[in-house]
Amino acid sequence: MRELREFLMNRAKNSRVLVVGDVMLDRYYFGKVTRFSSEAPIPVARVVGTRLSLGGAANVADNLALLGCQTSIAGYVGNDQNCESLQELFTKRGIDWSGLVFTDNPTTTKVRIMSGHHQMFRVDFEDTSPRPDADVEKLLSYIHRRLNESLDAIVVSDNEKGVVTEFFCQRLIRDAHEHGVPVIVNPYGENWIKYSGADFLTPNIARLNRVLLEPIAVGDDEATERAAKYVMRKFNIANVLATRSGDGVTMVTEENKTTHIRTIEQEVFDPAGAGDTILAVFGMTLAGGRAPEDGAYLANLAASIVVSKAGTYAVSQEELVKMLA
């Protein structure tokens, strides 16, 4: 434990991590519901507060920055107010956002209407259509340039919003491996062929079940291990960190070593963003040269903090050090 605390306090700040994926902004409107509309049978929320936070790949970067890493981000945004809000939040966190590629599509944004701690409604601004080849090449060129400058890890946050296509992902993995840089991916959807060659995948059980012949239960250790090995064989993945909600995480490595790590019991307030935190903490640990099992342990610990918070939440270095103590 002391070694991990020292790592967090001293070595994490030297880790250079690039986050690639679907950059999002989360807007929250907090209201009080006191009546129903006269126009339709719907509640009316009087807004009493607002909050902006980083979502998707941006939330992963937020977690890495708060953990003390030298963090940069690459993805697509639009020329709009939501992008300006993202840039302000990135600058405040010390995140290098020079890898953002401006497109004709809107910045992916989720607007949530909240009453107390409950979400009443959500509005999404997004366009997931294929990006022009010129935009794809701009993004790949930036990543190649950063690899030449030196990186310790690339983490890929895929939410199927237009960034992580099969062509793009395979180019990224190939370029990263040519520079000896590990690639850690949080997968999405059913086309996991595009992640072929990745060093680590960090799926939760729900996402894992989408590519299995038969779904597995969250609490089944043996089934989770078999599922991870199946994914490793079928999609040519070196290692898998399967996240299992209240049952912790399971790490299966290319050396055929399996480690089950139980979660710390917490009251689950909101699981949103837990996968982003796991991806960030695990990526940070690998970038710092620690063993995958250390990364799995720290990621599981960090996730137990996130689920006790409302909305997306980035865990700070101080919080994680305190948990270790």
Q: Which residues are catalytic?
A: 276
Token output for 214 = 């038969």
Non-local CB neighbours of 6 within 8 Å, separated by 6+ positions = none
DSSP 288: T
Cα–Cα distance for residue pair 73/321, rounded to 1 Å: 25
- Residue 246 is given by DSSP the state G
Residues with Cβ within 8 Å of 56's Cβ and at least 6 positions away in sequence, in order, are 21, 22, 23, 24, 108, 157, 159, 161, 276
User: φ, ψ for residue 74 (rounded to 5)?
Assistant: -135, 135
Secondary structure letter of residue 264 according to DSSP: P
Give the integer Cα–Cα distance in Å for 107 and 127: 8
* 8 A C-beta contact, residue 56 and residue 276: yes
Contact 185, 238 (CB under 8 A): no
Residue 264 burial (CB < 10 Å; 0-12/13-18/19+)?
A: exposed
Separation CA 298–CA 60 (nearest Å): 15
Q: How far apart are the first and last CA of the chain?
A: 8
User: How far, in Å, are 23, 86, 115, 201 from residue 104 at the CA level?
Assistant: 15, 17, 34, 31
